[in-house]
Structure formats: structure tokens, C-alpha cells
A and B are shown apart, each in its own frame.
Chain A
Amino acid sequence: MKNRSLVSINDFTKSEILKIVELAAQFEANPNQDLLKHKIVASLFFEPSTRTRLSFETAINRLGGRVVGFMDASSSSTTKGESLKDTIKMVSNYADLIVMRHPLEGSARYASEQSSVPIVNAGDGANQHPTQTLLDLYSIKKTQGTLENLNIFMVGDLKYGRTVHSLLQAMSHFNPVFNFISPEELRMPDEYKFWLDSMGIKYYEHSEFTDIISRADILYMTRVQRERFVDPIEYEKVKDVYILNNAMLDNTKDNLRILHPLPRVNEIDVDVDNNPKAYYFEQAENGVYARMAVMSSILGLV
């Protein structure tokens, strides 16, 4: 992985994914290390994303590195019409690594081609957010003891949710069974279903969120947003159907864990928070260790 950018989760092989997951566990056991001492990481957030930025900056600080950069494009020269290419060319002369968040899809791949230092994609529009996927994988491994042969339920907006698409692609290395629960309007796109078919991976689709989750090892929740519906009446019909509450967890497996990329709005009732199967806050913490693992392996420090 040394000196390679991380743009898309598809750039990583199964063994590279496992390496990151293993490294994340080591960082969690020993979170303060000086591996990035004397290294400068540029954190370029062309759109605000406080949660992701804080997670990366915490990871950099825990590794003893220093951060330069900007938090949103309005404070950078891009508002003066500077091209992404020029910004990246300039910053890659200053820093050892660039963490970049950008609203346009494909911007991270393009930046990686212009940069003289590795780029870590911290989200390019609706396209990829690979460190989110790696922290999801780490969370699954940690709670289930394995990534192999799991029954993964994905719930909510499966059409636009980039986190579910990336997780689906990454989990395909590990012989999963998928269950997709979503409103008709927000079903998993055909291209992903064709791809699963071609890989021989089983999946089932449901429009009702019922006790079928009693078979789940992982319940991956996402938001159903009003603006995704052409017809607001359709949204009103489904908006309460996809909300998880504590009573629904009564007959679920002991090892079930509930994940959510956060921020949550109302798709998980707060009465779930104290259930030992709720894992979304720990999941967010895992992001720091996954990002420490990504940055230190890209810089060839581990």
C-alpha cells in the first residue's frame, strides 16, 4: 500500500483490507504512537464535514503528525476560481499526505493523478468514502470475530446510500448473505444486484421491515430522506415503516449489532441506544483507529 492513494474501496484487495482491519485493532490497543512525527498531513475539506474531519484530525494527532489545511472551500482560493489541479499541485509540494473531501464525484481519483504525494479520499460526492467502509469492516470484525459468512441486513435508502454500496463491494470478499430492506423507490440499484449475481452472492429484497431481522448478524441502518421522494405523499406513507425501535430487537440474535454511518435523524429510536446491540457510537470511534491504520500504511510506517 506504500505511497498509494486510497480513492476507492475497490482499489484494495482482500488481503489489504484484512491488513488494515488488523492494524486498526493494534492502534486501538495502543492509540498513542509517534509514527507521524515530523510528517505534515494536509486536510483539504472543499465542503464541510465536521465528523469526518475531526476523525481524521484525531487520528493524525494520535500519531504525532501535524495538520495544515482548510475546513471548507469558502476559505480557500477555490472561491477565486483556482482549479482543483492547481490546489493539489501546490499542496502536494508542502505535505506528506493529503486527506481530501470534495463535493464532486471522481475528484479524488483526479487529485491522486495530479498529486506527488498520496491522497486519502474522505468522500467525493456520492461516489466513494473508503475510510468509512474500512471502519465499518473493522466494526463488523470486532463485534462478530470474523468477516466471513455473515448475514448482513441493509435498511433504508439503498439507492443513493454510498456507504451501503461500498460496504457491499468490500464484503463481497467474505461470502456474505445480504438482505435489503427498503421502500420501492429506494431499492438497491440493478447494477449492484447484477454484480452480486455475477459473484454468486445471495441477496434477498424486502419492502417491509419486520421480524425477518431475527436472522441478522449485522443490521446496517441508513436514513430515508424526504427529498429522495418525487411524491411527498409516498414519503409520508413509508417514513415510520423504516424506523428501528427497541421492541423490534426482542427476538434477534445475541451477536446482532446495529451499525449506522451517522448522523442519525430518526431512523433509530433513542430507546435503542441503551440496548447492548446498539453499536453506532462505538462504530464512529473505530473510525479513528481505521484512519490511523490507513495513513500509517500508506506512508509505509508500519
Chain B
Amino acid sequence: MSEKKELSVSAIEEGTVIDHIPADCLFKVISILGLDNCGNLITFGTNLGSQRYGKKAIIKVADKFFEDEDLNRIALVAPYARLNIIKDYEVVEKKHVTVPQEIVGIAKCFNPQCITNNENITTHFSLVNANVLALKCHYCEKITTEEHLKIL
């Protein structure tokens, strides 16, 4: 019911609603999805109440349907994000995100001696463990864990 109410605030006719984003990751999600360079109508709310996070954010993008591959990129910062696909004001599909096996150009390697932190190089990690997030750097082979994870 609460979902319905939120949607009615600024309902979109067609598009995607991304819900359950941790409030402090809103702008990271915007940047990961490239929404800062997107011409579509975008509305967002933040610091909304959430049982899971305390504070959550929500983003609504009109007339945009993301590829799963793009959406999964936000799983690094918003692993519990939920997607509602809206057509004609109705939720026609719900999706969850999953952390991708290969993470390119999103996260920063925690190793200061890594070449990616010293030259202008796109970072590249493979997922070692999704439960306690652990990413292995394709270059220096060191493992960046959730506590040291920084988003570029």
C-alpha cells in the first residue's frame, strides 16, 4: 500500500522506479547509472523511512528501462535495491539486483600500490564472495572487501 502512495506523489506513466537505496548512496547510484547525464525526467526522494536502512532513497526515471547488466552495477552500493518497471502507471515487473561477476569501472582498488591508483586506468574486479562482498583486482590481485570499498 505504501508503495502505491509513494508512486502517487509523482507517478510516472512509463519508466523505472528504483527503491530501497541506502540514503547515503543515492548520489553514487545516480552516478553509476549515469543519470547525471540523462535527459529524461528524473525525480528522487531521500531520507525516507525504511525498516532495513533507517533512511532510504528512491529514484524514478521516466521513459527509461535499464538493461539488467547496468542495473546490477548498483548492487555494489545498494545490494537490496528493488526495481519496479512501470507501464501505463502500473507496475508490470519487479526486479532485484545481484552483484555481477565482473565489475568494471565502478569500484576503487584499496591497494595504494596498485597501478590503477597511479595511472588513469579503468578498474576491473572479479567477485570472490557476494555474501561478505569481496572483489579481486584484475591487476594487482589483491582483494578489496566491503569495509574498504570505495566507489569511483
Q: Give the contact stretch, choosing among A121-129, A139-147, A215-223.
A: A121-129
Of chain B, the residue at the smallest CB distance from A104 is B115
Q: Is A52 an interface residue (CB 8 A)?
A: no
- From A36-44, A105-113, A262-270, A287-295, the one touching the partner chain is A105-113
Would you call B114 an interface residue if the criterion is a C-beta within 8 Å of the partner chain's C-beta atoms?
A: yes
Q: Check: B140 CB closer than 8 A to any chain A CB.
A: yes
Complex Cα gap A125–B109 (Å)? 15
Q: Across the interface, do B140 and A105 meet the contact criterion of CB distance under 8 Å? A: yes
How many residues from B make CB contacts under 8 Å with A? 17
Distance A74 CA – B119 CA, assembled complex (angstroms) = 18
Asked if B119 and A128 sit within 8 Å, CB to CB, the answer is no
Query: What's the tally of chain A residues with a CB closer than 8 Å to chain B?
Result: 19
- Max chain B C-beta neighbours (<10 A), residue from A103, A107, A124: A107
Check if B116 is an interface residue, CB within 8 A of chain A: yes
Question: Which residues from chain B contact A106 at a C-beta distance below 8 Å?
Answer: 109, 114-116, 137-141
CB of B112, distance to nearest CB on chain A (Å): 10
In the complex, the answer to whether A125 meets B119 with C-beta atoms within 8 Å is: no
Q: Assuming A105-B113, A105-B114, is B141 touching A110 (CB within 8 A)?
A: no
**Does B121 lie at the interface of the complex (its beta carbon under 8 Å from any beta carbon of A)?**
yes
- A84 vs B121: C-alpha distance in the bound complex, in angstroms? 10
Q: Output the nearest chain B residue to A84 by Cβ-Cβ distance.
A: B119
Bound-state Cα–Cα, A85 to B119, Å: 9
Contact of A105 among B119, B120, B121, B142 (CB under 8 A): B142
Q: Which of A8, A105, A191 contacts B115 (CB 8 A)?
A: A105
Asked whether B143 lies within 8 Å of A105 as measured between CB atoms, the reply is no
Interface members, chain B 117-149 (any A CB < 8 Å):
118-121, 137-143
Which of chain A's residues has its CB closest to B109's CB? A106
Q: Shortest beta-carbon distance, A165 to chain B, in Å? A: 10
Question: Closest A-chain residue to B139, C-beta based?
Answer: A106
Contact of A110 among B113, B121, B142 (CB under 8 A): B121
How far apart are the CA atoms of A19 and B142 in the complex, in Å? 28
A109-B119 contact in complex given A104-B113, A104-B114, A126-B113, C-beta closer than 8 Å: no
> Using a CB–CB distance below 8 Å, which chain B residues touch chain A?
109, 111, 113-116, 118-121, 137-143
What are 10 A-B interface contacts by the 8 Å CB criterion?
Answer: A10-B141, A85-B119, A103-B113, A104-B118, A106-B114, A106-B115, A106-B116, A109-B138, A110-B116, A126-B113
Given contacts A83-B120, A84-B115, A85-B119, 5 further A-B contacts (CB under 8 A): A105-B114, A105-B142, A106-B138, A106-B139, A127-B140
